[in-house]
Each structure stands twice: as structure tokens, then as C-alpha cells.
Structure 1
Amino acid sequence: MLQYAAGSARAFEVLYLKHKGPLYRYFVRQIHDQQLAEDLYQDTWSRVIKAASTYETSAKFTTWLYRIAHNLIIDHVRAVKPVDSFTEVFEPEQDHEAHLASDNENLEAQLLDNQKADLLKGCVANLPQVQKEAFLLNVEMGFTAAIIADIAGATLEATKSRIRYAYKGLKECVDLKWQGASHD
């Protein structure tokens, strides 16, 4: 980022290529509206460009970048209450029909996995927003609690609690829904 601030367009290209996929997925997983996710994604990069001349290395670039993204999501949530505009996560990355096996055992196992994935999606969608964000940053992005705390502007202990409560809530939700589904 310092090289970009000094005028190197190639430095920006390297930053963009390194972070474009994960940052875009971050927005898609947080926001239900694909167009809005794209707009916020573009707005993040626009803010990076505008802030280049004043960028300071007080935090890792990745942390700084996701802090901008986090703040844009928070601004959107405040402007568009209620919070239930956030999306489900863990969208299927592949065409499941193309992978269905012909024998019944594999088909049943695949259907069972899909059912579990749907349960998990619903449970993640129902998490409080701060827990959902901490969980997604931890699981999908691989960020540590310390980095997530920097991004969210929360204490390390609060962030650890959010992650812990997210996992606990997901386990309880999935267990409860799974028991309910298996008795239907």
C-alpha cells in the first residue's frame, strides 16, 4: 500500500488481485442483495484509492481493508434497519446435480448432507449480526480473533466471546433442527 501511495499502479494491482476474491465473498456472505454486495465491494476499493495518500502502517493492510468493508456494512445496516437483510452463508459452490451418484446409498448420503447444509445455513442466518460476522471472518477468511477484533473495533475478549457464542448457538440450533427434522 505504501508503494501504491508513492505512485506505483502495479502495487495497487497486486493488492487488488490478492484481496479481490476474499473481499468480494465477504460482502456476498454478509449481504443478501448481490447488487448491493457489488456496490459495497466497489466502494471499499474506492475508499482504498482515496485514502492512499494518508495511509499509515498502524495495522496490517488486510485488517485495514476489512475494517473499511466492516464499516460500510455497519453504515448500510444503520440506514436500512431491520438487520434481517443479512444473508445466509455457505452457498453451494458446485452444481450438486452433476455430482449425484447413481446408486441409492450415495444419493441418500448426498441428500442427507444437503439437508444438514440447509439447516446450517438457516442457523447461521439467524445468528446475531456481530456473531455472524465474527464467525464468517474466522471460518471463511481464517482470521484470528485479534484480527477480527481490529476489523470490528471490538475488544479481543468480546470478539472471542462472539466467536464462542456463534459456535455454541450454531451447535444448539443445528441439533434442535436436526432432531425436529428427523422426527417428521
Structure 2
Amino acid sequence: MREECTDEELMLAYGRGDAHAFEALYTRHRGTLYRFLLRHCRERASADELFQETWSRVIVARERYRPEAKFTTWLLQIAHNLAIDLLRRHRPHAGAEETELVFRQLDAPEAERPDRVLSEFEQRRRLQLALEDLPDEQRTAFVLRMENGLGLEEIAEVTGAGQETVKSRLRYAFAKIRARFAE
């Protein structure tokens, strides 16, 4: 039955005390949330900390939750705000090698042909490096759009920026990534 419920219905059920509803939400969104945080702060320890803090905020807000936006938008907005707070406190210092190691662990391909694995690895690596070169605002907009499937309005809500600003950030991000891949 839980598979049939929307995220919003699950969160409302959790607010009424249904712990299984929280488990379903956590199972559905833990990977998406963690990847978003990892790409946002680029340091595994910080992503782990923010991941836990985001879910803690969800737990604390369970009785106050109102489905005014999609649950994923609300969840990512909490995570984004926590990440911005962390960045304001100190800039991350993770290197590309550490980040790539985490991506490989999260997205390790199954038994595939070695030439395809190498090609996919190279593509992921190039994308990761291109993302690291983007300004924080452009990277966040790009990740929310491409990995989380959010539209302009939802990205604007998560980031607190206007829709035209989001559109501009996405346009610049895509242009920079295309240029990086053209090299």
C-alpha cells in the first residue's frame, strides 16, 4: 500500500504517527538527497552531516508539514538551506579524487563490458569535473534539474531565486558543460 501513496500522503501519515510512512519516504529519497548534498558540498563528511541534519529537520517538522509544494521540493529546500549555511561557515576542501571515489561507490556499474565501463567512467568523470568548475548557484540549479528532475518553479522555490535567475543559471551551466565536453 505504501508504494501507492504519494510522498505528501506519506509525510502527512508520518505526522499523524505512522513510523512506516517515514521509512517509505526515507527509502524513496535517501539516494537522491545524498547525491544532491554530495554534489552541493563536494565533501563526504559534510554531505553525511547535512544528510543526517536534513532528515532530523523532517522528523522535527512532521506535525507542522503542509503539502503546499511537492515533498521532494520541500526536502531539497531544507537540504539546500543547510548546505548554504555550511558553506557560509567554511568552504569545502575536498579534492576531485575523493569526490570521484564516492561517486564510484554510489554508482558502481554492474558487470558490464570493460570498454563500456571505461567510457561511462570517463563521461562521469568529465561531468564531475565540469560540475566542480561551475559556480555554486549554477551547479545547484543544474543538479536540481538534471538529477532531481525539478522544473524552473521548483528550483526557484528550493534556492530562493527568481525563475528568470534560475533559467539564466541553467543556461550558463549547460553552456559551460557543453564547452567542457567539446574540449
Q: What interval of TM-score do these two structures reach, taking the shorter chain for normalisation?
A: 0.7 to 0.9
Could you tell me which runs of 5 or more consecutive residues in structure 1 were left unpaired when the two chains were aligned: 101-106, 179-184
**1:151 — aligned with what?**
158
Are positions 1:70 and 2:80 aligned together? yes
Contact conserved, 1:86 with 1:125, CA < 8 A, in 2?
Answer: no
Residues 97 and 62 of structure 1: CA distance in aligned 2, closer, same or farther (over 3 Å): closer
**Structure with bigger gyration radius:** 1
| 1:52-89 Cα distance to aligned partner (Å, 9 max, x none) | 122222222111111000001100110003x6669667
- Tell me whether 85-94 or 144-153 shows the greater mean CA deviation: 85-94
**1:94 — aligned with what?**
108
Take 1:58 and 1:96, find their aligned partners in 2: how far apart are those partners? 39
Contact conserved, 2:134 with 2:173, CA < 8 A, in 1?
Answer: yes
Q: Percent identity among equivalent residues? A: 38
Contact conserved, 1:30 with 1:86, CA < 8 A, in 2?
Answer: no
TM-score when normalising by structure 1: 0.78
Contact conserved, 1:132 with 1:166, CA < 8 A, in 2?
Answer: yes
**2:170 — aligned with what?**
163
Q: Give the residue type in structure 2 aligned to 1:41.
A: F
Contact conserved, 1:31 with 1:86, CA < 8 A, in 2?
Answer: no
- Tell me whether 27-36 or 40-49 shows the greater mean CA deviation: 27-36
1:31 Cα deviation from its structure 2 partner? 2.4
**1:127 — aligned with what?**
134
Take 1:29 and 1:115, find their aligned partners in 2: how far apart are those partners? 18
Aligned residues: 168
Contact conserved, 2:41 with 2:87, CA < 8 A, in 1?
Answer: no
- Equivalences for residues 8-87 of structure 1 within 5 A: 8-81=18-91
1:42 Cα deviation from its structure 2 partner? 0.6
TM-score when normalising by structure 2: 0.79
